[in-house]
Amino acid sequence: MAPGPRSSPFPGALKLDPEVCAALHKQGRESAPRPGADAMSFERQLQTDLMVVFQRTRSHAVFNALHRRTSPLILVWVKGLLKRYSGFADPHELVQDTFVNIYSYASSFKEGSSHTFMGWARTIAANALRRGLRRGRTVSLSETDRHVDQRPGPTRQAQNSEEVEAVRQAWTLFLGLYLAAFQSLGPRDQRAMHLTEVEGMDYEEVAKELGVGRRNVKMIMFRARKRLQASMRCQLMMGQADAVRDAG
């Protein structure tokens, strides 16, 4: 079974940026619970509201806020889901794939009384896991996702083109940051990342290739990914600082 609420980190303490609050208010959504409101119910509604606002505005600030609040919850859920499968999959990669699809398929999210963001995100995560376990067969998001609105609209083609271009630009930036961060890793970390990410080796094979134990490979990969994240985050912050200076 998937983990229950007690095993999930509660993100209610995370504060929203003023830009995100303004975007929510502009769309008639609440950014803080009303007096006496149930905190968990508000949090679930806020997650859905953030998704809807991102769907309508494509605001990067809103998407980042959504990611910060929900990625830890989805990670916990994915780890619980993985316990039901004998195959190996990296939960962090599954969460990353999930949010790539959330970004790409934002226009297909359908808000409703029983259609919450977390339910939709979990379906996408489950599909990402199935794709990883069934190599050679692509599982469509629409195959099991009852939250996706399949009705074609007159502006769908234009929306799809805009989304493809937005994702292309985002991935171009991401890959540039990733390459710079990868080059900053040590030779062993680079080799381990290459064997797993490019050649598709499992941890047992990588352990033999590197001459270390399987647990050592897990630690090497964990630390390498942490270093990658820290380096990419630093590059983004430096880029934002440079943009502010140039604007000033």
**Among 8, 14, 90, which Cα is nearest to 46's?**
14
Query: What would the pLDDT profile of 48-104 be if each residue is shown by its tens digit?
Result: 999 999 999 988 889 889 998 999 999 999 888 888 765 567 888 888 888 888 887
Cβ–Cβ < 8 Å for 76, 9: yes
Cβ–Cβ < 8 Å for 93, 129: no
Alpha-carbon span 241 to 234, nearest angstrom:
11
Cβ–Cβ < 8 Å for 191, 163: no
Length of the chain equals 248
Alpha-carbon span 123 to 74, nearest angstrom:
11
**Binning pLDDT at 50, 70 and 90, where does residue 126 land?**
confident
Beta bridge partners of 109: 148
Cβ–Cβ < 8 Å for 182, 228: yes
pLDDT at residue 154, as a whole number: 53
Question: Which two structure tokens, joined as six digits, stand for 163?
Answer: 């989304």
pLDDT at residue 139, as a whole number: 40
Cβ–Cβ < 8 Å for 119, 144: no
The pTM assigned to this predicted structure is: 0.53
Cβ–Cβ < 8 Å for 23, 62: yes
CATH node for 170-248:
1.10.10.10
The domain locations on the chain are 1-151, 170-248
Q: What is the mean pLDDT of the chain?
A: 77
**Among 183, 218, 231, which Cα is nearest to 210's?**
218
Contacts for 100 with CB less than 8 Å, ≥ 6 apart: 167
